[in-house]
Structure 1
């Protein structure tokens, strides 16, 4: 019986035996084009994120429901009660204030989740790997969120405003400036408030903590001022009333809670300044801290 012989060794292919890289075509070029990234790519990425997560649909859906539902209910209640004449010189668009005040909590929540949720899930590491320029990431998130918040608020506030004017036929017609402030102005203010929440979420990096801070910033000054009974704190009480966010929001409907304080477009500039200062702080921390 013959013993099987081991196989004879075979010579290596010429390309493998040759000196140099161990692959047949050292001049291979990927068919995927290499392009220089820019802000547009970051914007496209953030737009994909914000429209694909469920929190966006839930928060914006509840926001529209609150603004439209409460606004139309208030207008219908006044119209059916025959109290239209009691409005007098009051801005008829002011009935939309209550829905926007409650709805702002939804915009605040979405603003915080836009940044803080990525730190909670660890997705921020992938984001920063894909776009190492951290300032560009923060700018893209801000632009996309502000645009979405402004457009949704403008549509909801405009719908309520037109519906209320139609229902309150005996009330006076709003002026052009009142229309502008009650639709575009208040929408810019709500969007800036949401943008401030986004920046606070980037600073705190914790969703629940940042939402708590922002809700406290909205409600705490007004609540604290209500319980200031001492005459020595009268100036502090007045300042808290004047610069509380609910009072600033009411200025857009010419229904300020105080006789002094912000008026006209002042609330918009105040919120713009606070948001810009917070944005600078968030950018500085983003550059210093690890993800």
Structure 2
């Protein structure tokens, strides 16, 4: 009997050897294609802020309502006053027919004040001011853009409304003996009154930036317009006569009447003095608003 032989181990197949002179290929990633944005990258400036604020002021409903009511008050009351005076007073010798537009402009100024406050304070109330400051981190530029756009809009609307009412009143009072307005009368009754009311609205805008509350800022401005005159009317004591006269002379209604040479007092501002007064007050308030804007959180 033959003994079984153990199985022979299988040998691994020989692997082909790589020639020593052949190196591994050097793989390199292809460069990624570059992307060019179609949106141009430019350095922002005041013009961009002005464009943004113009878009805001002409697209919100408050602008349409406040300016619409302003025109309605100025034109409506002005024409009504001219018709009433021309029918009831046949002899108006020495009267300036442009002065009949005073009452409509005084009431209409409340609309300009309201719009000025809403231009700044409403953004703080809704939180939109954060988006504005993110888009334009320069806070002074934002405030300047709001002031410029609002001032131009208020000035143009006031001048156009006052000029229309003035021409209508001159036509209605023709033949009643009323004086023909001079060039200086027209200049003060249109451009002068337009600058004053636009500056009054600009002061309201600045107060809105300082207070950051629409109702509070509007209350402050209406009180500034009406309170001095109302308080002076109830000062009967002789010891308060100097204070009473000062309140009469420098109240905003009296300064408006100065542009029509129809002051409520015999002394105080005259000519173009009211314009310089409101300009100085507005400039001081603007500097204060700018300083606080840089220090306070939005």
Tell me the TM-score normalised to structure 2 length.
0.88
Q: Structure 1 residues 152, 18: CA separation in 2 closer, same or farther (over 3 Å shift)?
A: farther
**Superposed displacement of residue 89, structure 1:** 1.2
Q: CA deviation at 1:26?
A: 6.3
Out of 201, 213, 233, the residue aligned to residue 208 of structure 2 is 201
State the structure with more CA Rg.
2
After the TM superposition, list the runs of 4 or more consecutive aligned residues in structure 1 that deviate by more than 6 angstroms.
none
Following TM superposition, by how much is the alpha carbon of 1:229 offset from its aligned partner in structure 2, in angstroms? Answer: 1.2
Distance 2:155 2:216 in 1: 24
Equivalent position SS for 2:109:
helix
Partner of residue 280 from structure 1, selected from 260, 281, 287: 287
1:176-195 equivalences under 5 Å are 176-195=183-202
Secondary structure class of the residue paired with 2:297? coil
| Distance of 1:113 and 1:18 partners within structure 2 | 62
Q: Provide the residue aligned with 1:13 in structure 2.
A: none
Deviation readout 1:162-202 (Å, 9 max, x if unpaired): 00000000222011101110111001100000000000000
Alignment gaps of 5+ in structure 1: 1-16
How far the C-alpha of 1:80 sits from its partner, in A, is 1.7
Larger relative helix fraction: 1
- Structure 2 alignment gaps of length 5 or more: 1-26
Structure 1 window deviating more from structure 2 (117-126 vs 87-96): it is 87-96
Partner of 1:175: 182
> Paired residues, what number?
270
1:151 has 2:156 as partner: yes
Alignment deviations for residues 40-89 of structure 1 (CA, whole Å, 9 cap, x no partner): 000000000000000000000000000000000000111122x141x321
Aligned mates of 1:79, 1:229 — CA distance in 2:
36
Paired with 1:145 and 1:29, the residues of 2 have a C-alpha distance of 38
Q: Residues 34, 257 of structure 1: CA spacing in aligned structure 2 closer, same or farther, 3 A cutoff? A: same
Q: Partners in 2 of 1:144 and 1:25 — Cα distance?
A: 46
1:151/1:36 CA distance change after superposition, 3 Å: same
The one-character-per-residue Cα deviations of 1:9-36 (angstroms, maximum 9, x if unpaired) are xxxxxxxx978xxx97263332211000
Taking the aligned partners of 1:18 and 1:144, their CA distance within structure 2 comes to 58
CA distance in structure 2 between the partners assigned to 1:198 and 1:18 by the alignment: 63
Partner of 1:9: none
Q: Does 1:94 align with 2:93?
A: no
Q: Hey, what does 1:57 align to over in structure 2?
A: 64
Which residue does 2:130 correspond to in 1?
A: 125
Displacement of 1:142 in angstroms is: 0.3
Paired with 1:198 and 1:51, the residues of 2 have a C-alpha distance of 16
Aligned match of 1:217: 224
Q: CA RMSD in A?
A: 1.4
